[in-house]
Amino acid sequence: RSVNIVALGNERDGFSEDSQQPSLISSYLRRSALISQINSNLSASHVGNQVFTEYQACVFGNVRLVVHDCPIWDIFDSDWYTSYRLIGGADIIVFKYSVNDKTSFQELKDSYVPMIKKALNHCSVPVIISAIGARKNGVPCSCPLCTSDRRSCVTTSEGVQLAKELGATYLELHTLNDFYIQKCFGGVLEYFMIQSLNGKSSEKMKKRKKMQKCYRVQPPQLEQPEKMPILKGEASHYNADLHNLLCCCQCADVAFYPEDLSTAVEAHKIILCSVSHLFMLLFGVKSLSDTHDDSIVQLAQSLFAVEPGDPFPSSPHGAPPCVLPVRVVVKDSVFCSCLPDILHFIYSGAFQWERLEEDIKKKLKDPDKTEHVLEKVKCILKTPGKLNTVKDCKSHQIKQLNSTSLRLFFNTPVLADVIFKIQGATVPAHRAVLVARCEVMAAMFNGNYLEANSILVPVYGVSKDTFLSFLEYLYTDSCCPVSILQAMSLLICAEMYQVMRLQHICELYIITQLQSMPSRELASTSLSIVSLLKKAKFHNSDCLSTWLLHFIATNYLIFSQKPEFQELSVEERNFVEMHRWPSNLYLKQLADYRNYIHSQKCHCTVM
């Protein structure tokens, strides 16, 4: 017997300095008298990222307890396959948040609650929402390290409303002491564990009674179908793609110079603006009136000087001009000497802060100059109105900064230097992102092709919606198809442009959706699996086509009755017949068994 619990969310607020503060789950496991033999280890998603802690223990003496504790919500963006698999296998789900982190709570409501509702639609399990912490809505602190966000807390009514939306039990735990951990949280959790065990025991007894009804003559044993091929996900290379863009300097549209103009360091406006409000101000994406932080404005004016001139002169016939990079003079010579290292840090995803510190220390060999440069980098990366600390620059705080921020420039004309024309509509884009993320587009825009010398690029063979989904993946490294047909269209587009990871994501989505489809729905659906098979083969999706053949063979009795079954080739039909389930031998044995039962005039309740 076992109980599986999935816990999602972070109970620590953004202002806590205690990074070693125990979590709700670990506190309960350590303090509960019902828990024993606790083991824990870090586990990874199917794309290889360590995203949750797995606890294994015993509860109620001999019941196996498995808990997956995931502190980050963006697993639904970066790895929907793992998140849906965890929720689908859970007996109890716990959502937790800090009452003093209003920003994270709002992001949860706006971005992730719809995904959570969709995941919960496929399972009926109890949900506990735990609001953790004592609200700090008192007199604002005058300390410069504090921000206005500290006075903004999640109210009880907001938590109760979220619980109503999800059909959950709402708890407020003002602190993680014995009373709140064992009496409040533990009492509710243990009640649901008992309910889960009782439900499983009831189902087990029903199966046992059913099997004991007929022992006279045993029916033929139906073997399990052959295991289908397992399709593994491909690790993301998003940050590596952007870093390679800096190394090869393709499509560079800005060049940084020292005051003597002796050397140049090239970069890309779209990447710089995606991580920094300062660069948005510098390159005209935002105006002075949009920037409500004097420190950013002062640093931009004191550190950089953009040379005047029109970087985008007009050209006839829609052809792009010979655009020279915008020249930016770096007034601080020490900062300028470290600029290559700073750009490598930004293009690598802006999360290797410790490595940046070490590189600058080795180059300058002066603690004061090192601190001077690092403070400017912090100011460049800061969010307006907030005071950045070293903690904000740690890996786990901003590790997805580029993929999150580049979304702001998706399908917008801001800084766009290419326009796709598709189905009578236009879609603006940025060559730097396209070249970095797609080898086919890199060849198209940098080779001897018509597109390399044109701003307006026509697109054929795909719909506008599919192409927008494709571009969204290039910008954000994530995609969420809404149907199997849309996923197949996106797979075809990904194969056209040779973006293999997106193709694998679409394959995984199609397989997951088909696996979750009940037999009755599979028999009545108008979706043609054979048509999907033909498309997968035509577009070189070998893994998906092999899986679909096994899927047809495993559901032979359903598909053999459909007209589309006749569209299979001779080779495909032979494969399906060889691997069909149930097999011809079993059906013959079943017919013989039924004839024997009829001849003996013995009614068998099993069949």
The pLDDT score that the predictor gives to residue 334 is 94
Pairing between β-strand 425-429 and β-strand 50-59 as defined by DSSP bridges: unpaired
27 closest CA partner among 192, 191, 184, 197? 184
Q: What is the mean pLDDT of residues 549-566?
A: 92
Q: What is the mean pLDDT of residues 144-162?
A: 71
CATH (domain of 187):
3.40.50.300
Q: Is residue 188 part of a domain?
A: yes
Q: What is the mean pLDDT of residues 331-353?
A: 89
Q: Which residue has the higher pLDDT, 299 or 81?
A: 299
Q: Is residue 78 part of a domain?
A: yes
Q: What is the mean pLDDT of residues 73-82?
A: 69
Provide the token pair at 421. Answer: 């024309």
The residue segments making up the domain with residue 592 are 516-606
Q: Which of 349, 381, 413 is the last residue before a domain boundary?
A: 381
- Assess whether 51 and 121 both reside in one domain: yes
Amino acid at 568: L
Residues 78/399, Cβ–Cβ less than 8 Å: no
- Assess whether 181 and 74 both reside in one domain: yes
- Assess whether 88 and 173 both reside in one domain: yes
Percentage of the chain lying above the pLDDT 70 cut: 81
Decide if pLDDT at 584 tops 80: yes
Lowest-confidence range among 225-239, 349-363, 463-477? 225-239
C-alpha 175: how far from chain center:
31
Q: What is the mean pLDDT of residues 85-96?
A: 83
Confidence of residue 582 (pLDDT cuts 50, 70, 90): confident
Q: What's the mean pLDDT when you consider all of the chain?
A: 82
Q: In what order do the strands lie in the sheet with 425-429?
A: 425-429, 418-422, 456-458
As for how many domains the chain has, the answer is 3
| Helix (H) and strand (E) counts in the chain | 29, 14
The pLDDT score that the predictor gives to residue 200 is 80
- Assess whether 37 and 179 both reside in one domain: yes
The pLDDT score that the predictor gives to residue 229 is 66
Q: Please give the sequence-ordered ranges of beta strands (E in DSSP) within 45-136, or none if there are none.
A: 50-59, 63-70, 92-98, 127-132
Q: Is residue 464 part of a domain?
A: no
- Assess whether 255 and 201 both reside in one domain: no
The pLDDT score that the predictor gives to residue 63 is 86
Using alpha carbons only, how large is the chain's radius of gyration in Å? Answer: 29
Residues 430/499, Cβ–Cβ less than 8 Å: no
- Assess whether 269 and 176 both reside in one domain: no
* pLDDT tens, residue by residue, 459-482: 999 999 999 999 999 999 988 899
Confidence of residue 47 (pLDDT cuts 50, 70, 90): very low
Decide if pLDDT at 410 tops 50: yes
Lowest-confidence range among 54-63, 381-390, 478-487, 571-580? 381-390
Q: Which residue has the higher pLDDT, 120 or 461?
A: 461
- Assess whether 68 and 190 both reside in one domain: yes
The pLDDT score that the predictor gives to residue 473 is 95
Residues 539/491, Cβ–Cβ less than 8 Å: yes
The pLDDT score that the predictor gives to residue 395 is 42
Confidence of residue 315 (pLDDT cuts 50, 70, 90): very low
Decide if pLDDT at 148 tops 50: no
Q: Is residue 358 part of a domain?
A: yes
Q: How far is it, in rounded angstroms, from Cα 559 to Cα 555?
A: 6
Q: Is residue 331 part of a domain?
A: yes
Q: What is the mean pLDDT of residues 279-304?
A: 89
Confidence of residue 585 (pLDDT cuts 50, 70, 90): confident
Provide the token pair at 567. Answer: 């569209």
* pLDDT tens, residue by residue, 159-218: 999 888 888 899 998 888 888 888 888 888 888 888 888 888 777 777 666 655 544 566
- Assess whether 14 and 130 both reside in one domain: yes
Q: How far is it, in rounded angstroms, from Cα 109 to Cα 92?
A: 21
The pLDDT score that the predictor gives to residue 342 is 93
pTM over 0.85: no
* pLDDT tens, residue by residue, 5-40: 888 888 877 555 555 667 888 888 888 878 877 787
- Assess whether 113 and 22 both reside in one domain: yes
Q: What is the mean pLDDT of residues 495-511?
A: 94
Q: How far is it, in rounded angstroms, from Cα 188 to Cα 128?
A: 8
* pLDDT tens, residue by residue, 418-458: 999 999 999 999 999 999 999 999 999 887 788 888 899 99
382 closest CA partner among 289, 302, 291? 291
Decide if pLDDT at 321 tops 60: no
- Assess whether 173 and 306 both reside in one domain: no
Percentage of the chain lying above the pLDDT 90 cut: 37
- Assess whether 190 and 256 both reside in one domain: no
DSSP assignment letter at 233: P
- Assess whether 351 and 273 both reside in one domain: yes
- Three-state DSSP class for 26? helix
